[in-house]
Amino acid sequence: MEAAMRIPARKSFFRDWICTVDHKKIGIMYGVTALFFFLVGGLFALGVRTELWTPYGRFVDSQTYNEFYTMHATVMVFLVIIPLLTGAFGNYLVPLQVGARDMAFPRMNALSYWLYLVSGLTLMIGMFFGMPDAGWTSYPPYSIQSQGPGIDIWVMTVHLAGLASILGSINFIVTIIKMRAPGMTFNRMPLFTWSMFVTAFMQLFATPALAGAVTTLLLDRHFGTVFYTAAQGGDPMLYQHLFWFYSHPAVYIMILPGFGIISEVLPVFARKPIFGYHAIAYSSVAIGFLGFFVWAHHMFVAGMAMSAGIPFMISSLIIAVPTSVKIFNWLATIWGGAVEYEVPMMFASLGFIGSFIIGGFSGVIVANVPLDMALHDTYFVVAHIHYVLFGGSVMTIMAGIFFWFPKVTGRMFHKTWGYVGFWFYFVGTQVTFFPMHLLGLAGMPRRYATYAPEFHLWNQVATIGSYILGVGTIILLVNLMVSAKYGRKVENNPWNARTLEWTVSSPPPEHNFDEIPVVTENPYQPYPDLEPETESAPAGA
């Protein structure tokens, strides 16, 4: 606390940023770093798609292709989506939303960021010595046999990112339990903070399994152990159990905070209280809990008895219930509203709800054991993960960035270019990822550098889509960078939002609140009728 309130004697980049323990600055650092990695991961994705423009793989050789998709997925999962949602949004918003002056452990918070940065740099610098080539799942025994330092670098990266995540999650849990402002009961807590609360528990309980999995992998590679060597009594399936015991919860870690963002954005632009506050909050808890009981749905064909998949099929189908409860509550929030089509609202409504549900539905299909027998490890699964991660997580991230941009910078983004970027993203998502369903149904396996000629057409369509997404990304990021410097100055609460972060100046003062607020009600209250003048009044600083 004391550290967060200290006013620096003299300003310098070093003091302001490198030495900072301010949760807002750490959040921004997380955001900027992760967006940089987003570009790197995106370039690898374009490399993957360019290779698949022809069936014969003329762009790079197969080994390089395998390295590209491994780098792509590793970067996107461990260095982009998780750090953006928890590190950037979580850090920036949670203390403000609960009315605290900082996170519970500001120095540990800074340590999380620096560990994350080192993790990312390990992978980036490591790239010049050798890239991992075993997929982001890195299943042994292939990953044990894989030559060169690539997999070792991958293990280091995952370890450091995991450590950063565990420290961060402890920080969120303590902050949310201990540092809420007077009157901020759990039932008055903003829904983004609720989602971070559940996410933090998932990170805390799941990440150690991943650490165990990758550590044993490293031991098998270099220290003669045989955890995963069948010939000497080890078992490669053990790795998959450990890996998915982490990575299934991880897919919810990659979407729950996004759900939280949507729950903040929709009521503001529909000008209504959120519909079903308790249902939304508790469904996150249900997802967090059930998320630990479905991991083997990634392993229906991995060597378990087929019937052993049945309990996991049932739990996976059940976990779709809390998710659909949220969708219906969001729809009901828009119902009867007065919807303003601002850029964040476009990403949250059409962009997110409109795309994400496709990933939810394909998830229900592959959760079915007999159907997954046919579709596992085909492009159908690639379509599924991208509808949830791109149509889902990335859309929520964009909604959140454009929503809180005026708060963080005190300036407004360029709206027209915001819409243009949105449409590139919306169209690009469908063109890139929808055809992958068709490829998967037709039997095209994933992780293929070359493929049979009958799959050519839809692969070309998907590749065109990926370039649309690439252009969209440039448009969106350039808009953010330019507007952060030259955007029109805005007042503190340009969207007329209700959570606590909007009650302070934009950008907020270093200590957040001059006086710790006293909370008397839940932030989702009805909006009074607006005078037409208020709406058209020129926004001034």
Binding residues among 432-461 for ligand HEM as defined by CB under 6 A: 432, 446-448
Taking the least distance from each CB to ligand HEM, the nearer of 160 and 382 is 382
Instruction: Report the alpha-carbon distance of residue 171 to residue 385 in Å, rounded.
Output: 29
| Binders in 390-409 for ligand HEM, by CB under 6 A | 390, 394
Binding test (CB under 6 A) with ligand HEM, winner from 136, 227, 243, 422: 136
The dihedral over CA atoms of 105, 107, 111, 112, expressed in degrees to the nearest 10, equals: 30
Residue 103, contacted partner among another protein, ligand HEM, Cu ion, none, CB below 5-8 A by kind: none
Residue 111, contacted partner among ligand HEM, another protein, Cu ion, none, CB below 5-8 A by kind: none
Taking the least distance from each CB to ligand HEM, the nearer of 135 and 354 is 135
Residue 49, contacted partner among ligand HEM, Cu ion, another protein, none, CB below 5-8 A by kind: ligand HEM
| Binders in 181-240 for another protein, by CB under 8 A | 230-231, 235-237
Instruction: Report the alpha-carbon distance of residue 541 to residue 128 in Å, rounded.
Output: 48
Q: How far is the CB of 27 from Cu ion (least distance, A)?
A: 28
What string marks each residue from 447 to 476 as x (binds Cu ion by CB under 5 A) or -?
------------------------------
Q: Tokens 């750490």 identify what position?
A: 26
Residue 248, contacted partner among Cu ion, another protein, ligand HEM, none, CB below 5-8 A by kind: Cu ion
141 CB-contact burial (10 Å; exposed 0-12 / middle 13-18 / buried 19+): middle
Residue 338, contacted partner among ligand HEM, Cu ion, another protein, none, CB below 5-8 A by kind: another protein
| Cβ neighbours of 159 (radius 10 Å) | 18
Residue 72, contacted partner among ligand HEM, Cu ion, another protein, none, CB below 5-8 A by kind: ligand HEM
Residue 106, CA distances (Å) to 18, 95, 205, 510 in order: 13, 11, 22, 13
Instruction: Report the alpha-carbon distance of residue 215 to residue 38 in Å, rounded.
Output: 27
Instruction: Report the alpha-carbon distance of residue 76 to residue 49 in Å, rounded.
Output: 15
Q: Which two tokens stand for residue 116?
A: 């994350």
Q: Is 276 left (phi over 0), alpha (psi -120 to 50) or beta?
A: left
Taking the least distance from each CB to another protein, the nearer of 116 and 228 is 228
| Binders in 238-267 for Cu ion, by CB under 5 A | 248
Residue 497, contacted partner among another protein, ligand HEM, Cu ion, none, CB below 5-8 A by kind: none
Taking the least distance from each CB to another protein, the nearer of 120 and 236 is 236
| Cβ neighbours of 493 (radius 10 Å) | 17
Residue 9, contacted partner among Cu ion, ligand HEM, another protein, none, CB below 5-8 A by kind: none
Q: How far is the CB of 134 from Cu ion (least distance, A)?
A: 12
Residue 220, CA distances (Å) to 142, 158, 213, 429 in order: 12, 17, 11, 40
Per DSSP, 9 falls in state S
Task: Identify whether the C-beta of residue 287 lies closer than 8 Å to the C-beta of residue 252.
Answer: yes
Q: Which residues bind ligand HEM (CB under 6 A)?
A: 42, 45, 48-49, 69, 72-73, 76-77, 81, 135-137, 382, 385-386, 389-390, 394, 432, 446-448, 466, 469
Q: Which residues bind Cu ion (CB under 5 A)?
A: 248
